[in-house]
Structure 1
Amino acid sequence: MELRQLATFVAVAEEQGFSRAADRLGVVQSAVSATIRNLEREWGVTLFHRTTHRVELSAEGRELLPVAREALRAAGAVDGAVEELHGGLRGTLRLGIMQTTLSPGVFSAAGVIAAFRATHPAVKIEVRQAGSGSQADAVREGELDLAFVGLPQTSLPGLELTPLSRAEMQVACPPGHRLASRASVDLGALRDEPFAEMPPEWGVRIANDHAFAAAGAQRTIAYEINDLVTVADFVRHGLAIAILAPGMFPQDPLLAFVPIRHHAPAFLVSLVQPSNRPPSPAARAFAATAAAYAAT
């Protein structure tokens, strides 16, 4: 068994297909198929169930996948330690990022990545954008090394969180809305308002759900939208209201923000890493860069 075989197994499992895994690995599809067949023969198991339309992990494959990931991580950690001894970091860092429009003055994942690359240009950074909930799961399962998440929790099972920024959210509405002139508002007073919200796994939505639950209040979600720019556009056109951080849309004349009196949700940006396995040298260096960037 070779590390190349393990990397192929993990690639097929994560890409859920042989052709996509081949593209990811930079090889032809026949080489991926041959590697998986040889690995199945060597291990005496069926790793994948194949049909004309899909490739799925078998029960044995699901059991072996985390072991294969851990072996690849261990090998990468050794390579990283050797590179550190020679005065530089190399390798690949798999990083989860969020979909936000936060201004750089509040927090910028791109700013952290740029600061890290200025010091460690030989490290390749692969980014994956998704909801905060699924990003946290991906770090826990070993699919990602680190991830920026916007979750209200300060602790999550199997994860270590480093808080980076916090922004209190407010009710966003058009300037002519009945709420726009209010000094503040309670969540309970929003029961009959149509809301534009993110999907359930996104950080802003999770923070809002927690705040309404804590207040014992309800809201009507009229539109579920998977990007903040469109959420804000629905608000601008009077189709709905939303709860957003003002820093996400600085100095927008078509958006009015009203503070929330009690149980105001906060958009907390954190960097998460697994708590049950040591980080690679690149991940450790990136976490230190993120903390220093947030402190400036």
Structure 2
Amino acid sequence: MDLRQLEYFVAVAEERNFTRAAERVHISQSGVSAQIRQLERELGAELFDRSGRVARLTVAGKAALEHARAALAAAAAVGQAVGEVTDVIRGRLAVGMVVGCTVTPLFEALAAFRHAHPGVELALTENGSDRLAADVRDGVLDLALLGAAGEPPQGLRSHVVVREPLVAVVPPGHSLAGHPGATLREVTAYPLVCMPRGTGLRGVLDQACAAAGITAPIALEAGAPDAIADLAARGLGVGLLSESMAPRYAERLTALPLTDVTTPGLLALVWRDTRSPAVRELLAQCRRTFSRP
């Protein structure tokens, strides 16, 4: 067997689909299938159950997966160790960001990192925060920018880059528009327009409603602040945004602090370890860009 076969095996195991795995490793599906068939012949066991639409690991496949990941990590570590002593960083970094992310400092950090370390392949994926945290724990992602309610996810190292309260936004003429603030119960008397599950702001809303025994009347979900603002401005519901998002829509919407919701929404960088020089360098670049005024 060779490292290429192990890479394809891990890709199919993580993607649970031969087509997506082929796209990930940049070869044809038939090429991935052929290499895994060869690996199975060498091991004397089938690694995947191909009877359904999803490629599921067999018992043998499950037994092999962690060893395959370890072998790939060891091979990468060899290159990284050499790179450290020659001041060259190489390899691949898998980065995740929460769905609907438009945080410019992250993009600036990735661009600066790519310019400084062209030998590192960057892969960027978007997902819900719970999935991102799980992928970092499992080693699928090296680093992720995710949302959380109150505190970063447990079991991971983290750096909070934003910590701020949830606010409601309403158009002029709305019955709440003249109020200096609003309670959760007052806001949930109206249809809501908010972020989807898996985002930090939605986590804040869900936690607050559960604590108050309120069922949130969510009318519409949108992953981008601009979409939430546009929908709220058209009277389709009370919008829910973070405190720093609201001022950009001040000409169309009035922001109302939620006076009884004290849990902040977070954006945090999370990672599992910093043994990789590439992870350390990207973290350092992220900290620099996020600390700029």
**Could you tell me the TM-score, scaled by structure 1's length?**
0.88
SS at match of 1:88: coil
Q: CA deviation at 1:216?
A: 4.6
Displacement after TM superposition at 1:34 (Å): 2.2
> Residue 52 of structure 1: CA displacement?
7.0
CA distance in 2, matches of 1:180, 1:264: 21
Unpaired runs of 5+ in structure 2? none
Name the aligned partner's letter for residue 27 of structure 1. Answer: I
Percent of aligned positions that are identical: 37
User: Is the 8 Å Cα contact of residues 101 and 224 (structure 2) preserved in structure 1?
Assistant: no
Give me the whole-angstrom Cα distance separating, in 2, the residues matched to 1:67 and 1:182: 60
Q: 1:292 aligns with which of 275, 282, 288?
A: 288
Q: Please list the CA deviations of residues 168-208 of structure 1 after superposition, one character each: whole Å capped at 9, or x if unmatched.
A: 22111212211121111111222321112333222221122
The answer to whether the Cα contact below 8 Å between 2:98 and 2:146 also exists between their aligned partners in 1 is: yes
Whole-angstrom distance in 2 between the partners of 1:76 and 1:97: 23
Counterparts in 2 of 1:101 and 1:128: CA distance versus 1, 3 Å: closer
Mapped contact 1:66–1:142 kept (Cα < 8 A) = no
Aligned-residue RMSD, C-alpha: 2.3
Question: How far apart are 1:234 and its partner, in Å?
Answer: 1.7
Q: Tell me the residue number matched to 2:165.
A: 168
What's the counterpart of residue 177 of structure 2?
180
Q: Which moved more, 1:5-14 or 1:52-61?
A: 52-61
1:115 maps to 2:106: no
Query: 1:226/1:74 Cα in 2 relative to 1: closer, same or farther (>3 Å)?
Result: same
Mapped contact 1:197–1:223 kept (Cα < 8 A)? yes
Kept in 1: contact 2:246–2:255 (CA 8 A): no
Match of 1:158 in 2: 155
Query: How far apart are 1:210 and its partner, in Å?
Result: 1.9
Q: CA deviation at 1:227?
A: 4.1
- How far apart, in 1, do the equivalents of 2:242 and 2:198 lie? 18
Moved more, 16-25 or 31-40: 16-25
Residue in 2 aligned with 1:268? 266
| Residue 18 (structure 1) shift | 2.6
Counterpart of 1:34 in structure 2 is: 34
TM-score normalised per structure 2: 0.89
Partner of 2:22: 22
Give, in whole Å, the separation in 1 of the partners of 2:112 and 2:166: 28
CA contact (8 A) 1:89 1:120 kept: yes
Provide the C-alpha distance between the structure 1 equivalents of 2:242 and 2:80, rounded to a whole number of angstroms: 39
Contact 2:46–2:58 at 8 Å: present in 1 too? yes
- Whichever residue aligns with residue 273 of structure 1, its letter is W
Cα deviation 1:4-48 (Å, max 9, x = unaligned): 111010122233333333333233333322221222233333211
- CA gap of 1:102–1:36, structure 2 versus 1, over 3 A, is closer
Q: 1:101 to 1:89 in 2, by over 3 A?
A: closer
* Residue 247 (structure 1) aligns with: 244
Uncovered stretches (5+) of structure 1, i.e. residues with no partner: none
Aligned amino acid, residue 61 of structure 2: G
